[in-house]
Amino acid sequence: MRLLSFSSLLFFTALLVALLSAAKPPVSPEQWPNTLWIYSISLFLAIGGLILWHLHIRQHAKIIHSTDQPLLDLSDCLHQFLSEMQELAQELANLDHIGILARIESLLELHVWPLVNQHPALLNTLGITQSMQFFLKLAQCERLLNRVTSAASDGYLEEAHHTYSQALLIVEDMYYDFSKKPLLEKRKDQSDFTT
């Protein structure tokens, strides 16, 4: 935490000085302000602060990785999300458009948006590539749920059901890819799927 305070403070203070020295108008006929040397020094200091800041974030991510806590949370979140999606899949055919809208709204509110808000934490724990794949799938699922809402509002219940099934598939994928489900079990499921 100390490193974070120091690095960000160094970064912002140095950048403020750099900004101020960059703002000075050059004295004619010069092209550059005579504060250029202050600007250069502060820019180097800001780069130092920025490197320390990123180092701190990386260290913090490593600590979180070693405890595995957020992955456990993600696993739980995805399990609950999938359970509720499957539950709704059972009931969807019996719901009218108002009922569908209410249930989709609830899914978005309880599961999708809270996960979207975990962006920085998941970026730190999953890394750029994994978190990017996770959020792209989550966004795809959200868009499809939005489509379910639109279709249900317009009275196209068949389209709503069909689109919902696509969203459910994505959540299943996410659950297998990002939860802590043992790899063996995942492979077994996948071989079940292909036979």
Partner 1 sequence: MTYRENTLTAILLGIAQGIILNIAFVYITLRLGFSICGSAIAAIVGYVILRVVIRNGTILENNINQTIASGINSGGIGVVFVLPAFFMLEAQGKLTFSMLPLLIAGVAGALLGILFIVPLRKQLIEIQRLRFPTGTAVATLIRSGPANLDKVKLLAIGFAISAIWKWLMLTGILDSPGILEYEELQLHLGIFPAYLSLAIYLSPLNFAAGLLSGRAGLPFLWGGLIAWWFISPSAVNLGWLPSELDTVELVDAIYKQLLRPLGIGILIGAALMDVIIHFPVLKAALHSLWLAHRQTKPHPQQNHTHPDSSSHPQGIQHSLASPSPRPDELPLSILVPGFLIAIILLFFALSLLPGLSITQVLLGIIIGITWLLLASLVVTQTTGLTDVSPISGIALMTVLLMAAALGGHIPAVLLVTLAVAIAVGQSADMMQDLKTGFLVGARPFFQQLAQLATSWLGVLIAGTVVYLFWRSGVNQQGGFGEGTLLPAPQATVLTSIVDLVQNNTVPTDKLALGALIGLLLGAAPIAGFGVLIGLAMYLPFSITLGYGLGCLTQMWLVRRHGLAFDKHKIIPLASGLIIGEALTGVGHALYQIFLMAP
State both tokens at 171.
Answer: 């959540």
CA–CA gap between residue 35 and residue 145 (Å, rounded): 56
Give which of 128, 139, 135, 115 is closest to 61, Cα–Cα.
128
Which residues, 9 to 68, sit near partner 1 by CB under 8 A?
A: 11, 15-16, 18-20, 22-26, 31-33, 39, 43, 46-47, 50, 53-54, 57
CB of 68 to partner 1, least distance (A): 23
Give residues 133-152 in contact with partner 1 (rule: CB under 8 A): 133, 135-136, 139-140, 142-152
Q: Which of 45, 44, 158, 168 is nearest to 97 (CA)?
A: 158
Site string (114-133) toward partner 1, x via CB under 8 A: x-xx-x--------xx--xx
CB 162 within 8 A of CB 136: no
Q: How far is the CB of 4 from partner 1 (least distance, A)?
A: 10
Shortest approach of partner 1 to residue 156 CB, angstroms? 5
- Judged by beta carbon, residue 75 or residue 150, the one nearer partner 1 is 150
**Helix, strand or coil for residue 182?**
coil
CB nearer partner 1, residue 21 or residue 179: 21
Question: Using CB under 8 A, which of 59, 63, 165, 180 touches partner 1?
Answer: 165
Evaluate whether 148 touches 160 at the Cβ level (below 8 Å): yes
CB of 69 to partner 1, least distance (A): 21
Of 61-69, 75-83, 84-92, 177-185, the segment contacting partner 1 by CB under 8 A is 84-92
- Write the DSSP string, 131-181: HHHHHHHHHHHHHHHHHHHHHHHTT-HHHHHHHHHHHHHHHHHHHHHHS--
Closer residue to partner 1 in complex, CB, 75/166: 166
Please report the sign of the dihedral spanned by the C-alpha atoms of residue 57, residue 62, residue 68, residue 69: negative
Q: Does 192 bind partner 1 (CB under 8 A)?
A: yes
Phi first, then psi, for residue 24 (nearest 5°) are -65, 130
What is the closest distance, in whole angstroms, from the C-beta atom of residue 116 to partner 1 in the complex? 7
